[in-house]
Structure 1
Amino acid sequence: MSPEGSCPWMGHLRRLQVRTWIEPVVASSQVAASLYDAGLLLVVKAHYGAGAASNHSAGPSPRGVLEDQQQRAISNFYIIYNLVVGLTPLLFAYGLGWLSDRYHRKISICVSLLGFLLSRLGLLLKVLLDWPLEVMYGAAALNGLCGGFSAFWAGVMALGSLGSSEGRRSVRLIVLDLILGLAGFCGSMASGHLFKQIVGRSRQGLVLAACSVSCATFSLCYSLLVLKVPESVAKSSRALTTMDTVSGVVGTYRTLDPDQLEKHSVVGHPPRPGKAKPQKAIIALLFVGAILYDLAVVGTVDVMPLFMLREPLSWNQVQVGYGMAAGYTIFITSFLGVLIFSRCLRDTTMIMIGMVSFGSGALLLAFVRKTYMFYIARTVMLFALIPITTIRSAMSKLIEGSSYGKVFVMLQLSLALTGVVTSVVYNEIYQLSMEKFVGTCFVLSSFLSFLAIAPIGIVASKQAPWSQYGDITEK
């Protein structure tokens, strides 16, 4: 007899659990974000390209000089833009995380999605009404004042952690990253084609901006009207010991659960010492590793669009979209990596594999001269997403569930703050080195990525092998 036959209310419960899925919100918001990011880059390029063209008509200049001027103008725009995007969330993201822990888990998600929508509307109005480019600084500020991506992703990670057991958590969180990557890949692939739908500088990008606004609107409405906060697995396992599901993803991870055969035996056990008294040294080392690695990733991501537009690549709109889409494939390969590695490797080992993968790819990227070489370098980065996601998972196993929102926001804000500094420094380095060696920033990223292995190695050396339940256990 099926579970639904023996317990009629279980079938209804399974249907209700569909509403706890955060995946539709992640997917729609990321499609909107990928369209927005590509659209903003192309709008900025078109804006400064027109300015360079008018200067060229007044007095002829070599093509290389005009390209350098355009690159510096785009880089300067993104220095200010990234400062606004990175600093404004610092005022409110932690407060939203605290409110989410204390009152309702959806607060940080819904408020940040409102900011996403306002910023996407800013790009649409700029294209539609031909507003000055500086209006995008205001749109970025509105996004940040609503918490920005720091508050949003911290809220998503909190819901994902609440709806999964500790043994499944690494897989659960990497699935959310997989959805993020697939949505970003689709949006980026379409961005170049959508941008070209309307010819003419004053209206080019209108269709793309409108699609971004539509996706952002859907994600906000879904989170407000449909999304439900999942019940903690620790609570539901006591009431429904026969259910083999993860709240939010019903019947998906049955074969992936490392403690499937023994999970009922651990119900009712007292909390482990590491949970009751967080190992602050381990958490601090994980923070340091995450920040160093994020410095490398953010620097590469910030400079890469400029690298695509400049010689030797000099890509057009469609090629830029494809290049940005290539960056999202690591979400798929990293997901598969966690799926395989989590069965036989410790979390620290998986983190170091991801760091080596990104560092090697960044080093290859520094010497790219042809389009195919760019995609080879991107392929080497196939496990680049594993470190940050696995670090989040490890931290969630060292703290109480009631503190997820605050801790995840603190991590995200730390990454955002260091990312702001990184963006400024990398853009300045890029402007100084692009005429001599355009790959200087990528070499620096490779060094930082390998350097980030050091604190993770210390964690691995000080701790016993993490158990099959995914915990950090003391020697």
Structure 2
Amino acid sequence: MVCPSRCEAVFTALRRIEPILVLEQLGSSFFDTTLVMVVKDRSANATYPDADLSREESQQKAMSDFYMIYNLIILLTGILPSLFLAKIGDRGWRRVPIVVSLGGYLMSRVILLLVVLFRLPLEVMFGAAALFGLSGGFAAFWSGVMTLASLGSTPADRSKVLMRVELLYGITGLVGSLVSGHLFQLDNSNLGKGTLLLSLGTLMNLLCFLHSALLLQVKQVTNQEPEEDCQILSQVSSDPATEAPAGMNKVNMALLFTAAALYVTAVGGAMEILSVFVMKAPLSWNAAQVGYGMAAGCMIFITSFLGVVVFRRCVSESVLIMIGMVSFASGIFFMSFVTETYMFYLARSLNMFALIPMPTIRSLLSQQVPAASCGITLTSLQVSLKFAGLAYIPAFTKIYQKTLSWFPGVVFTLSATITVLAMIPISIFGCRSPQRREYERIQGE
């Protein structure tokens, strides 16, 4: 009797969303490390006859150009499909956004594997980016995951469940990144550098796709409190009892939209360049160091989670956002002057709370509108952030290329400056918002 019950428990666990998260993040970690090293290798002999650039500067320009075009293709092709898949999911086909987006993940991994095996031109990856975007990409996958996690939890436990999903994703990314660099270096086959690592990543994405299509269960807990639906994406809340207003607070919404756009511009622009920056002298990272660097980024998921748990007890949400922004601004400004690997990790350690602002902004935004308008408001925010990417991706890339010869850290200083500007609308929002009343316990003598 014990064995069947254990088998049933294991099967039930396998039908949850967590195995998909683990497999997808491991596969993505392996893919990201391989892609960085392949792009570096293919850009080694890049030349620009019309520009007076050294060999290293030519390589950096070629790498940054590739990532600019690659990310812009994903951004442009992914906007409409992600919205379309979200609408299909809202009509009851909850697994469709996850299954379709994971199909895109799998195709992009297979295409990179073909590029490595058959020495195809690197530009083939632009086609992979288009397929990935047309499948909905990360936006469709992550919104699908969050929706399933929300449906499978009660309103009282929802924020806790979503935080656990974020934490699991970060821990898996940490493990995958640490392992990926060493696996890349262990590959001594004649098929192409990174074949072993990429094959393992592709296998994990295949298992992930099959799991989502065949095993994943959509479990819905009866919602006893419909008015709390607009808090689905709220991962942090200083006052759980806050109710959505009857009308829209347009001024507060404008302040939150502005802060979100500025902060995403700062973070996205800096991260766009960081993977290229560590490849040049004086850092000149190898595959193992690339894996360690990605692991440091995944650690921020964990430290931000702990920061929310600690700070939410004693500060308001607007102050919580400011803490996260100060954390990112200080770390990325220090990154401007990094010349040694240990300095890179010091800078990243200052970013420990950098993931707090965006979930908190979404939480505050959901409290500025009626429940019936919450979904479209959060979707509008996500679309506006995608359009912001159309501006900051090429802008940061071109600034980096222009300043390579005299101060390549200019883009990180610019990112810190934009983050400071993002604090202004949040400060105004904090002044406009009603403060929580504090009560003092009067001790009797």
Distance 2:185 2:23 in 1: 22
Q: Does 1:25 find its partner at 2:14?
A: no
Amino acid of the residue matched to residue 218 of structure 2? V
Q: For the Cα contact (< 8 Å) 2:244–2:370, is it kept in 1?
A: no
The CA deviation at 1:69 is 1.0
1:99 match: 88
For 1:114-169, what per-residue CA distance to the aligned partner results, in whole angstroms no more than 9, with x for missing partners?
11111111111111222111110001100100111122222223334444566655
The CA deviation at 1:436 is 0.9
1:142 match: 131
Q: Tell me: CA distance 1:409–1:218, structure 2 relative to 1, closer, same or farther (3 Å).
A: farther
The CA deviation at 1:465 is 3.5
1:127 match: 116
Which ranges of structure 1 fall in alignment gaps of 5 or more residues? Answer: 1-12, 56-61, 238-246, 248-255, 469-475
Q: Does 1:190 find its partner at 2:190?
A: no
Q: Tell me: CA distance 1:331–1:432, structure 2 relative to 1, closer, same or farther (3 Å).
A: same
2:266 match: 296
1:48 match: 43
Distance 1:151 1:352 in 2: 28
> Within 5 Å, which residues of 2 pair with 1:192-231?
192-199=181-188, 203-231=192-220
2:282 match: 312
Q: For the Cα contact (< 8 Å) 2:237–2:312, is it kept in 1?
A: no
Q: Does 1:456 find its partner at 2:445?
A: no
RMSD of aligned alpha carbons: 3.4
Amino acid of the residue matched to residue 131 of structure 2? L
Q: For the Cα contact (< 8 Å) 1:17–1:230, is it kept in 2?
A: no
1:157 match: 146
Q: Tell me: CA distance 1:258–1:23, structure 2 relative to 1, closer, same or farther (3 Å).
A: farther
> Within 5 Å, which residues of 2 pair with 1:74-473?
74-164=63-153, 169-199=158-188, 203-232=192-221, 234-235=223-224, 272=243, 274=245, 277-397=247-367, 406-465=376-435
Distance 2:12 2:40 in 1: 45
The CA deviation at 1:96 is 1.2
The CA deviation at 1:46 is 1.0
The CA deviation at 1:221 is 2.2
Amino acid of the residue matched to residue 38 of structure 2? V
1:253 match: none
Q: Secondary structure of 1:309's match?
A: coil
Q: For the Cα contact (< 8 Å) 2:73–2:129, is it kept in 1?
A: yes
1:243 match: none
Q: Tell me: CA distance 1:108–1:171, structure 2 relative to 1, closer, same or farther (3 Å).
A: same
Q: For the Cα contact (< 8 Å) 1:154–1:412, is it kept in 2?
A: no
Q: For the Cα contact (< 8 Å) 1:361–1:378, is it kept in 2?
A: yes
Amino acid of the residue matched to residue 54 of structure 2? V
Distance 2:112 2:350 in 1: 34
Q: Tell me: CA distance 1:47–1:199, structure 2 relative to 1, closer, same or farther (3 Å).
A: farther
Percent identity over paired residues: 42
Q: Which moved more, 1:192-201 or 1:311-320?
A: 192-201
Q: Tell me: CA distance 1:336–1:151, structure 2 relative to 1, closer, same or farther (3 Å).
A: same
Which ranges of structure 2 fall in alignment gaps of 5 or more residues? Answer: 1-7, 227-231, 439-445
Matched length = 422
Distance 2:361 2:210 in 1: 31
Q: For the Cα contact (< 8 Å) 2:155–2:223, is it kept in 1?
A: no
The CA deviation at 1:442 is 0.5
The CA deviation at 1:37 is 1.4
Q: For the Cα contact (< 8 Å) 1:46–1:201, is it kept in 2?
A: no
2:34 match: 39
Q: Tell me: CA distance 1:176–1:65, structure 2 relative to 1, closer, same or farther (3 Å).
A: same
For 1:58-104, what per-residue CA distance to the aligned partner results, in whole angstroms no more than 9, with x for missing partners?
xxxx9x82111111111111111111111110231111111211232
Q: Tell me: CA distance 1:315–1:332, structure 2 relative to 1, closer, same or farther (3 Å).
A: same
Amino acid of the residue matched to residue 92 of structure 1? P
Q: Tell me: CA distance 1:428–1:401, structure 2 relative to 1, closer, same or farther (3 Å).
A: same
Amino acid of the residue matched to residue 454 of structure 1? I
